[in-house]
Amino acid sequence: MKIIDFRSDTVTKPSPEMWNMIKSMNNSKLGDDVIGEDPTVNELEEKAAKIIGKEAALLVTSGTQGNLVSLLSQTNPGNEILLEEKCHIVGHEVGSAARIGGLMVRTYPSNRGVPSIDHLQDLIRYKEDIHEPATTLISAENTHNFHGGAILKPEILRDLKNFAQKNELKFHLDGARIFNAAVGLNTDVTELTKHVDSIMFCLSKGLSCPVGSIVAGSKEFISKARKFRKMLGGGMRQAGIIASFGLVAIEPNWIKRLEEDHRNAKLLAEGLKSFEHPIKIHNPDTNIVILEFLKTPKIFKILTELGKEGILAFTISNKKIRFVTHYGIHEDDIQYSIDKIRNVLNRYNYE
């Protein structure tokens, strides 16, 4: 049976160019990265820093580790940090900011990832008050996963930067899919990253590497992050094997390929919108399509039925199914999937 896997862009496998890169490797391109001697990792970190517009960069094992080393490097235990209420750090990183960072997490509401600055201002604690924890960092997510791959535009990031500066906060960006945002806006990624103190982006999502993420910021920030990465068990040795995939992934042509995923997401959304069912399809900014049921369905039953038709997806609430387009899903797979999803919903009995 044909399987179309919309569960995440993390299911992607390396491209032929990535495999060619691996085939051309030899021992001279590897060294011990914990002591800074892996030439391929060093090359990737330099290349990533340049592309993302920061002084320095660091290869980490995952987006989760990258976000955590960024928080640890820019805060102290007992500080309060401001995070968007549906962001990945709050809901999907196992509470690491609290458990490992000793951080108080205060969430802010948003409109598809975009907060009200007035509301944020109300959340800032009084430094002078003996009772209150110090607010020291704000984080945003771009694109915003659980808001359907929503893009935060440069002017929003600029406003957040001004807010952060006014209140002496560090500004971290969970940019797991920052290149989707840049490609979606048809802008240089540095237009988005120039406003933040630290950024994490993933190599292992739409860029389709098997493993790895990048953290970037000032040289001082990266030297702290390197130490925290070691603390978290992320010091890898001949990590050039991993980094070589990343070198291909951040080539301009490979970043531009994300356009294909965005086109496919739009096609999927258009197809789903034509269904006569009590559902709402959220317009995708990038590569994530959210199908929302207007009545509360037995969502896991629907997912199981989709699975039987070869359509794999995840739920993100008891009313929403998320479909993620990515490398390996082609335009003709989209029409095929729309037909399969229609069959399942036509059979479903909404009570």
Considering the complex, what minimum distance in angstroms separates the CB of residue 92 from ligand PLP?
A: 7
Query: Quick check: 63 binds ligand PLP (CB under 6 A)?
Result: yes
Q: Single out the residue of 80, 141, 261, 333 in contact with ligand PLP (rule: CB under 6 A).
A: 141
Give the range of 57-65, 99-107, 287-295, 308-316 binding ligand PLP by CB under 6 A.
Answer: 57-65
64 touches ligand PLP by CB under 6 A:
yes
Number of residues that bind ligand PLP (CB under 6 A): 12
The residues facing 254 across adjacent strands are none
Shortest Å distance, C-beta 326 to ligand PLP = 12
Provide the minimum distance between the beta carbon of 97 and ligand PLP in the complex, in angstroms, as a whole number. Answer: 13
Query: Candidates 28-36, 58-66, 148-156, 301-309 — which segment interacts with ligand PLP by CB under 6 A?
Result: 58-66
Q: Which of residues 156-185 bind ligand PLP (CB under 6 A)?
A: 174, 176
197 binds ligand PLP per the rule CB under 6 A: no
* 199 to 228: interface string for ligand PLP, x by CB under 6 A: ---x-x--------x---------------
**Positions that interact with ligand PLP (CB under 6 A):** 62-64, 67, 88, 141, 145, 174, 176, 202, 204, 213
